[in-house]
Amino acid sequence: MRFFSFLSSFLSAWRDYPAEINTVLGDRYVNLQLLGEGSYGMTYKCLDQKSGAVVALKQSRPSKGEYAEHLLRREKNILQALGHPQIPELLDFFVEDKHTYLVMTYLEGDTLEDLIFEQGCIYDEASCIEMTLKLLDVVQYIHKKGYVHLDLRIPNVLFQEERLSVIDFGLARQIGEEPPLGYQRNRKGLITSKKMRKTRRPETAKPPKSARSANGAQFKLAEEQSDLADIGHFMLFMLYSTYESEDGADTERSWQEELSISSELQEVIERLLELKEPYSSTDEFYHDLHVLKQNHSSK
């Protein structure tokens, strides 16, 4: 049995082996670099021989079968529906040698982790609010189109001078849609890094809204609040760039104790993380954040 298990794992890994550099995909796209790998797909940086443009090409994992192809087709439909300059534009979609490919514009930029740990950027309360409002402009657009991103992690937000872009819509769904059967999102590690601390949900905190499927298993509906929670972690990541740990301090403290921020901003983040009454909509959060920006501007 162990041999057959090993053989199965080996064959899956072999089928999912990334394309070699300079491989031409779809008789058009030259593979320049493997950008990343996920559970259901691999993404490459490619040269479009027809247009001369650099593009991003995502390939479904063959070992995941029709389900991986389904996810890629759904991502294609979502990108088609969105159409925003700060979101990848759908360029092509094709099947070759039983592999399914999605081609989109290649968006460059630095992640927040790059900016903080490589470039030494520090985000105080005012700059954190400013950056979050820029992110919220894109997220609001996504929500108004009827979708939620569901994966607003640090690697999926790219900063380009005066604006930012949101990438990787592989987990995105329509608002109110249940996740695929058997899928449960892992939210661990959203703010883990050199200086980051885990947020702790008290026992009295309101649990996230959920719905039960017909078979009784609990599933999280695709709601705006899921993206807002990710933004809360995103804001904490920025704010921890100002944090200096005390030498010899062994006691782990909450972010509320460690960060020197206003009570107003603290309450906003607590609502994002559902430590207090959660926001009912992205618009409500935008209003509160805009008020905080005005308060900082008037000081």
Residues marked as catalytic: 151
Tokens of 219: 């599933």
- For the CA atoms of 199, 203, 207, 212, the dihedral, rounded to the nearest 10 degrees, stands at 120
In whole angstroms, what is the distance from residue 237 CA to residue 132 CA? 11
In whole angstroms, what is the distance from residue 172 CA to residue 25 CA? 26
The full DSSP string for 171-196 is T-EETTPPPPTT-----TTSS-SSS-
Is the separation of the CB atoms in 158 and 138 below 8 Å?
Answer: no
The crossing angle, in degrees rounded to 10, of helices 263-272 and 224-239 is 140
- At position 133, the amino acid (one-letter code) is L
In whole angstroms, what is the distance from residue 96 CA to residue 90 CA? 18
Tokens of 61: 């994992």
In whole angstroms, what is the distance from residue 136 CA to residue 202 CA? 27
Tokens of 294: 């005005």
Handedness of CA 194, 116, 188, 207 (dihedral sign): positive
User: How far is residue 58 CA from its own chain's centroid?
Assistant: 16
